[in-house]
Structure 1
Amino acid sequence: MPIDGELNDDLILFNKNITAAQNLAINAAKIALNNFEWRYVTMVFHNSSILLGLTAFMQIYRKSVIVGKGTFLHGKESSADRISQFVIFGSDLVDIMCTLDWMRKREFDNTGKFIVICNNCDERKAMDIFWNHKILNVVFINDSSGTSSIIGFTYSIYDNQKCEISPPEPLLDSCIHNSCMGVYPLKLRNLHKCQIIVSTFEQVPFMSLKTGTPIGADGDLLLLIAEALNATLKVMTPHRGAGWGQLDKDGNWLGSLADVYHDLANFSMTSAAITLTRFKAFHLSTDYHSINMAWVTHPAIPLPGWQKLLRPFQMKARISLAVTFVLIILVAVFVKSNLWAKLSKRINTSARPQTCVLFYSWTICMGMPATSLPSKPTFLTMFLLWMFYCFMIRTFYQTSLIHAMKDNLNYPEFENLQDILNSGYPFGGVPALKDFYIDDPEVYNNWKSINSTEINDMMVSLSRGMKYVLAMNKVTAQSFILKHYGDIHIVPQMIVTSPTVLYFKKFSPMVQSLNLILDRLVEGGFTEKLYKNHASTHARKKTDSTAPMNFEQYMGCYVVLAAGWIVSILVFICEVYCYKFSV
């Protein structure tokens, strides 16, 4: 409810002889009381020539204020970006413009609420000054001809198809001499087909510009925003550099964010992750989705064919089998020793077996028929147990071997950042993502920076086996797998999950109206639907389970066969040589 405007009686220093400056201040205080938020601090600028007007304002507006005289030294501790309500007392337009220039240099929030008091100033020139400083929410209080004709003015932006600011619009007389609310409406809600410029670049599946019209998750959303603003959309690609945008070695912005920073575009829409550097340098919209940044590397390396022969056995089974065959070798050595010859005389058996124990045990293990059996019941029992043991092992092994030979078995893949570091692979990505590892010297100091234009070529090289780990957008990598049928490995551990926002220049007047549109689109489910249509996170390469078996899958069998032939030939040569030597 508006506060009563009859506040003049509260003045202590003044009675009926109120000067023009005091009257201007009184009316400014009425507007401030009804339209400023009392929980926020108000900054008041003045000069010594209008001290009485300032005193009148302070006696009526009894809320938290910071009073500054002229362009005082503003330190970082004052937190200029937290102040969003301003009252400026100016003696003339030159004085006001100097104050606004100083505020812009000190990065005060030009999107806040302003009350500017000037005695006998040209309101049309004043509105041009406000627009040049991107101050939209302003009430200009002017006394053009004495104390009896105080008028308040504001202006509209893009109120017609000429795409210019409107002439000064007088406030209602009740807002000046009494009280009213709502003198700071949300502006830039209808651009009347005026142009907005958006900086972006080709980034499938978020943005595609091949047809001249933005297509993709961000592209379709951008068209909805332009329609909601009733604006003519113009899309531009980065004029300097490429990609999302980062600082070069000289501290200058490159890429899409450079277009915003240098006032070439109204905002940037690139689905860029929020980093500390970007957060400090730009104004962010409300978030409308999220993105995952991940590590990407080459596909898993297949196991050699010979290793597949051991695949049916786990490590414990391999160790137990190895111990079993070692025992057989020890037995074969034992029966050839003198100790066995002495022992065999005591148990009344032959000193030496008729066949080679080691060779005969191996033939039974391979499933070949037994040509002879031991005559002693004890040895026969041991023989039958060995035969049964080999039969069971061979059956289980052959059952699992066919699947092991056909399956595409690979070396272990990277699961997290520690696996990447242990591998010794070089790694990197766009320079902005390096900021996420500023507290990890091992990653930060060894980061290899690449340009965003190189990402697609890098993914192609990775799919062909390049030993490198690339930091990039996870959805873009999944889109590459789906579209190009490339096979790259996405490390499960994410780098970061970042909100998706629009990037504006600091204190851009378009932020508030764009936030309102984005909030409605998010609440209506439009953004979720667009990302589901264009940037689905379930893209995977389809494998053909009915593919025929190839030669490589049985390479291990041929390796064993060739090794057996080589060993056989070597043994044959040794036997022939030993026979000639003995003769």
Structure 2
Amino acid sequence: MVNDFDNMIHENLFIFDIDAMTRKKVEPEGEVDGEVTSALVSCSYFDLDKRADNLVMEHQLVSINTTDDLLKIVWESSMCRGYLFLLDTPEPLLDYANTYHHTWDYNGRFVLVDWTLEHMRALTMTKNGKKTEHIVGAVKSSTEGEWMLYMNQLYWGQGVRHINTWRRHRFIHQLDLFPDKLSDLQGAVLRVSTFMFKPCIFYRRAPDGSIVSRYGVDIEVTKAVAYLLNFTAKFEEPPDRKTWGSKLENGSWYGMMGQLERNEVDIGVANLYVSGFRSDILDFTAPYTSEMTCFLARTEPPLPRWQALAFPFHIRMWLAILGGLIASGPMLFFVAWCSGRCGGDEIRGLQSLSFSWYYAFGMHFCEAHASLPRMASTQILVMFLWLYTMILTIAYSTNLRAFLIVRKPPAMMETIKELYESGLEVAAEGTVYRDGIAASSDPYLRGLARVYKGYDFQEDTFPLVLEGKAVFLGNQVTLEFLVSNKFTSRGIPRMRIMKENFASYSIAMALQRHSPLKRKVDKVLGWIRQSGLVRHYFLDSLRQAAAYEEDGHSEDDSGSIGGGQEEEVVVADGVIPLGLDHMQGIFMITIIGWVFCTQVFLFEKVILSDQS
């Protein structure tokens, strides 16, 4: 019988005599036959059946006959979280614990009186009972006036455990009936879903393909949590080589998300983003790190070498040079012609427009002429023309060397606006980014949701990116690792990260929905984050991966994909010899000259034939 319900509510505990509970009210002093009873449970509501009239209660007092009667309870009261059940039949509560998952108070303290041991075990095995930390039951023994108290074990073991005995109006042991079952899981084996996701998770495999060990920042964080909470992490992969998984049309999930939704694993880790659309089927822990999300695009191939002849000058500079070349011939002709008409002794060749043009054209190529001007005015003009062309040719030849040796990169897409205007597909693994893109305030970023496409494996997207048909969306750390380890050959990357990124995401562990582990795991992750161990784990895993590959081992897919580009041949002193690829432009000019000369020759031949 509950003693003084008003005091019990305010003091967040109640004192009772199990024998008297079904017979009479206990006096407010909380003593039975001169003996002080034990504080058992905090409480706010009591769910009673026909014996409710024996109890005095100003708070919730609900008569339970069917499962629907349990819906009348205001679960998770702000006053306290205790529930006392005096039921003739346990079926309504068992059915409720298997059906209503969102209203159950998983952090409450449940006291069941006059249940059988089988019913106690059945409650702890329901969907809600498996995730409830505190369930205590009083089972009447064959001895008169004796009650056996059992509690659920949660992660400590299956079923229930006998913890105390009520005899002669008192407990025979002074024990905490609601111990902390989460700070020390006593070596319980928890199933952890994960998969290889470099550079966060690495695998080492035996020659037969079996997994020898796992390491990486996510694995080390999980091991640290397991050590501090004293449980054994049993790692396993999602079925059918699926990774995080997505929601199917029938409403179910596959991959890691499906395992957590079906309660097949306890924890999921693999660079997992905290996202709202997954929160309906699982609980995220407190984040232990964060990462930027970026776009991975193809590194555009360098411009052809023959175009290097035009690279030293900007297009406006070339137009200015062309204008100077066109104006120099007539200007030279005009000065020489005026000098000749004024009685000067200027050479006759410069008094011809075609010869003056040819003369000025040769000066632009620093070509010396046998005929020199005689008049002072013409000599001054030629002197400045020589100064102009010398500076021009020296600047061109000096800059040309650099462009012949180093390839000029083309203009590249760097912003979200440019990506939107390009119309390229935005490829990603799964659909985790789609909602974030569609909800963005940036109209260009929001427009990318129309070309977003999720894939089961990121490897399926890389050929599209290399062909220039798509960009890949992922976290910055992973993309940097991919570029340096998969798509770089002899120092030349075939992919690059665009300068403008998408958003920052928090990285956390995933737990089953309403998992009792969350409070303790959050606390431990806070310690790990504050200590700086996350960064230490990440750098240490990169060093391990580098050392492992230096020993001649391979970790599945660390090699380059698709081969590299043509490389430069460098001699011992570091000088790059000029090859046909560097100098192809001059041969193209020669061929163009041959073609043009042939056309002019044919034209002259036709003219001469007509004249004859």
Q: Which category of TM-score, normalised to the shorter sequence, fits these structures?
A: 0.7 to 0.9
1:480 maps to 482
Once the two structures are TM-superposed, the CA of residue 366 in structure 1 deviates from its matched residue by 0.4
1:361-510 aligned at under 5 Å gives the runs 361-430=360-429, 431-439=431-439, 441-452=446-457, 455-459=458-462, 462-463=465-466, 465-486=467-488, 487-510=494-517
Contact 2:136–2:177 (CA<8 Å) still a contact in 1? no
Instruction: Map 1:556-571 onto structure 2 (within 5 A).
Output: 556-571=585-600
The residue matched to 2:279 in structure 1 has which SS?
Answer: helix
- How much has 1:394 moved relative to structure 2? 1.0
Whether 1:134 aligns to 2:130 is yes
C-alpha distance in 2 between matches for 1:53 and 1:246: 53
2:194 aligned partner: 200
Give the corresponding residue for 1:299: 299
Q: 1:576 to 1:8 in 2, by over 3 A?
A: closer
Deviations 1:309-352 (A, max 9, x none): 222223543443343234347658x969xxx98x7897557897
Counterpart in the other structure of 1:156: 153
Q: Spell out the pairing of 1:77-476 with structure 2 (5 A cutoff).
A: 86-92=81-87, 94-95=89-90, 98=93, 101=96, 105-108=100-103, 110-116=105-111, 118=113, 120-122=114-116, 125-126=119-120, 128-132=122-126, 133-138=129-134, 140=136, 142=138, 154-159=151-156, 163-170=157-164, 184-209=178-203, 210=205, 211-239=211-239, 242-328=242-328, 331=331, 347=342, 353-354=351-352, 356-430=355-429, 431-439=431-439, 441-452=446-457, 455-459=458-462, 462-463=465-466, 465-476=467-478
| Structure 1: distance between partners of 2:355 and 2:407 | 40
Partner-residue secondary structure (3-state), 2:273: coil
Q: Is the 8 A contact 2:75 2:104 kept in 1?
A: yes
Give the SS at the match of 1:235.
strand
CA contact under 8 A between 1:71 and 1:99: conserved in structure 2?
no
Q: Is 2:606 the counterpart of 1:580?
A: no
1:111 partner letter = Y
Q: Is the 8 A contact 2:269 2:510 kept in 1?
A: yes
Aligned residue for 1:15?
Answer: none
Q: Deviations over 1:357-386 (max 9, x none)?
A: 222111101011032233332232222111
More moved, 84-93 vs 382-391: 84-93
> Does residue 512 in structure 1 map to residue 519 in structure 2?
yes
User: Aligned AA for 1:237?
Assistant: E
**Closer/same/farther in 2, CA of residues 416 and 186 from structure 1, 3 Å limit:** farther
Give the conservation status (yes or no) of the 8 Å contact 2:45–2:61: yes
- Kept in 2, the 8 Å contact 1:24–1:53? The answer is no
Deviation at 1:92, TM superposition (A): 1.6
Report the secondary structure of 1:396's partner residue. helix
Residue 47 (structure 2) aligns with: 46
Distance of 1:321 and 1:68 partners within structure 2: 99
SS in 2 for 1:372: coil
2:130 maps to a residue whose letter is K
TM-score by structure 2 length? 0.74
Give the superposition deviation at 1:531: 1.0
How far apart, in 1, do the equivalents of 2:236 and 2:291 lie?
23
* 1:513-552 matched pairs, under 5 angstroms: 513-534=520-541, 546=574, 548-552=577-581
**Helix, strand or coil: the match of 1:493?**
coil
Secondary structure of 1:503 counterpart: strand
Question: Using the alignment, how far apart are the partners of 2:123 and 2:481 within structure 1?
Answer: 49
Using the TM superposition, give the Cα deviation of residue 526 of structure 1 relative to its aligned residue in structure 2, in angstroms.
Answer: 2.6
Q: Any gaps of 5 or more consecutive residues in structure 2?
A: 12-19, 31-35, 206-210, 440-444, 489-493, 547-559
Q: Name the SS of the counterpart of 1:220 in structure 2.
A: helix
User: 2 CA distance for matches of 1:32 and 1:392?
Assistant: 102
Matching residue's letter, 1:484: K
Is 1:22–1:56's contact at 8 Å kept on the other side of the alignment? no
How far apart are the structure 2 equivalents of 1:477 and 1:68? Answer: 60
Unmatched segments (≥5 aa) in structure 1: 12-17, 37-41, 59-64
Confirm or deny: 8 A CA contact 1:158 1:166 kept in the other structure: no
- Aligned residue for 1:502, secondary structure, equals strand
CA separation of 1:529 and 1:482: change in aligned 2, threshold 3 A: same
CA offset at residue 55 of structure 1? 4.6
* 1:39 corresponds to: none
Measured in 1, the distance between the counterparts of 2:507 and 2:135 equals 35
Distance, in Å, in 2 between the alignment partners of 1:25 and 1:325 is 116
How far off its partner does 1:411 sit?
0.9
Counterparts of 1:158 and 1:319 in 2: how far apart (Å)? Answer: 80
Task: Give the letter aligned to residue 410 of structure 1.
Answer: P
Between structures 1 and 2, the one with greater strand share: 2
3-state SS of paired residue (1:134): helix
Offset at residue 47 of structure 1 (A): 5.2
Question: 1:475 & 1:108 partners in 2: Cα distance?
Answer: 40
Q: 1:127: how far off?
A: 5.4
Higher relative contact order (CA 8 A, sep 6+): 1
Partners of 2:481 and 2:121 in 1: how far apart?
Answer: 50
Measure how far apart 1:264 and its partner are. 1.4
Note closer, same or farther for the CA distance 1:237–1:387 as it changes in structure 2 (3 Å cut).
same
- Name the stretch that deviates more: 197-206 or 231-240: 231-240
Change (3 A) 1:428 1:457: closer
* 1:185 Cα offset (Å): 4.3
Distance in 2, matches of 1:111 and 1:215, equals 34
Shift of residue 207, structure 1, vs aligned partner: 2.2
TM-superposed deviation, 1:10: 10
What residue identity is the alignment partner of 2:163? E
Q: CA deviation at 1:284?
A: 0.5
For residues 359 and 144 of structure 1, the distance between their equivalents in structure 2, rounded to whole angstroms, comes to 120
Is 139-148 or 483-492 further displaced after alignment?
139-148
Distance 1:147 1:138, change over 3 A: farther
Q: Deviations over 1:268-288 (max 9, x none)?
A: 111122222113321001212
Q: Are the structure 2 counterparts of residues 359 and 518 from structure 1 closer, same or farther at C-alpha, using a change threshold of 3 Å? A: same
Q: 1:170-197: per-residue Cα shift (whole Å, max 9, x none)? A: 4999xx99xx998654323444443221
Superposed CA RMSD in Å reads 4.7
Residue identity over aligned pairs, in percent, reads 14
What CA distance in whole angstroms lies between the structure 1 residues aligned with 2:375 and 2:464? 68
How many Å apart are 1:402 and its aligned residue? 0.7
- Separation (CA, whole Å) in 2 of partners of 1:517 and 1:230: 12
For 1:271, the aligned partner's letter is: N
Shift of 1:403: 0.9
CA shift at 1:406, angstroms? 0.9
> 1-side partners of 2:330 and 2:63: how far apart?
98
Q: Secondary structure at 2:459's aligned position in 1? A: helix
TM-superposition CA deviations, 1:254-308 (whole Å, max 9, x none): 1111111112111111112222211332100121222333211222221122332
**Partner residue of 1:62?**
none
TM-aligned CA deviation for residue 553 of structure 1: 2.6
Query: Displacement, 1:435?
Result: 1.9
